[in-house]
Amino acid sequence: MSTPLLALAHGRVLTPEGLREDVVVLVRDGHVLALADAADPRLTGAARHDLAGALLLPGFIDVQVNGGGGLLFNDAPTVDTLRGIAAAHRRFGTTGLLPTLITDTAATMRAALEAVDAAIAQGVPGILGIHVEGPFLAPARKGIHDASLFRAPDADDLRVLTAQHRGVVMLTLAPEQVDPGTIARLAAAGVRVSLGHTGADYATARAALEAGASGFTHLYNAMTPLGSREPGVVGAALDDPGSWCGLIVDGHHVHPAALRVAITAKPPGKCVLITDAMPPVGSERPDYVLNGQTIVVRDGICMNDAGVLAGSALDMAGAVRNAVNLLGLPLEEAARMASAYPAEWLGLEQTHGCIAPGQRADFAVLDDTLHVRETWIGGVRYPAM
């Protein structure tokens, strides 16, 4: 039995054609039924929600979320943890995310995959799959990861990662640690292979792309830079038209000029806003423990005592604001970098990432300062707290 028709009216709606003020978004059964005009007869008897001139954007999709709400996925890879992390990010317009497991043991990786499968089966709002970041990484570019746990993937790892899962599986690896044949096997099984925490040269990164790698994890950070005679992993990323690049636009991880260079170099649609968020997002606590180290947020930067960056305190609405205010991007493009483009990277573009008939009714409602007023997931409204 269908649910009653809902009409979201009087908003500035970001459609695939651009911002429009002349449409009413009709929602039924958790999906967009139509973009209607004010005279549409279907409006008669529909429940109305007045947006009062606010921006109605596609819900944000974050492919790299380590934690939030005071919770770190690694600490307790359970459905309850996932529920809490998703709820924390929902306050900031995130309607879909990949909880991210930082380098850990094989047992923890299995537990994380099982927890995500269970969360999706239980309908936890916002969980789209999992991002496994490590342990197949390079010690030379370890960042905050525990290099003592780094290793090459074995047969059990491949079996677990390529098994049928309920959601998307993204895997960050260093291409010098994993041979192209293994990357090809992972990609053939549907795993989104992303290159990161790597000291590889350009040729090695190119070979990984040709084997099936689809993108780059937090471009510029923890990878070989672009040089005049050795383009490095950054050069491979900027030179490749088919891959996606995750960008942390927090004003700390990457200089705005370098971000603008990447956005200009890549074809439209291939740069994706991510947060790499840690437990302080959506929490009053400015600190957390990772690998036995206390990480503190200072001036918006998560770092350990040695000054090593440890994820971010960024949320997706903040990433959109920064893309507009720091990088000078049009709001429409910044919003697509947070919704349509990550949906395409994850292979979810038929159901997620834009406001159009047939898409899930996942929305972020923002005021003129680009702060979130309410979030909708599957047609269910969650007011910002």
Query: Which residues participate in catalysis according to the annotation?
Result: 276
- As given in the structure block, the two tokens for residue 50 are 């007045």
Instruction: Please choose, from the candidates 91, 35, 73, the residue with its C-alpha nearest in 3D space to the C-alpha of residue 384.
Output: 91
Cα angle, residue 51 at apex, residues 46 and 52 outer, rounded to 5°:
120
Alpha helices in the chain (DSSP H): 79-90, 106-121, 155-162, 180-188, 202-211, 232-239, 256-265, 316-325, 331-337, 340-345
CA distance 184 to 191: 10
Label the pairing between strands 94-102 and 60-65.
Answer: parallel
Q: What is the DSSP letter of 5?
A: P
Beta bridge partners of 28: 31
Contact of 173 with 137, CB cutoff 8 Å: yes
Q: Could you give the 3-state DSSP secondary structure of residue 44?
A: coil
- As given in the structure block, the two tokens for residue 183 are 């990357």
Residues 6+ apart with CB under 8 A from 359: 31, 32, 58, 351, 352, 353
CA distance 120 to 127: 6
Counted residue by residue, the chain has a size of 385
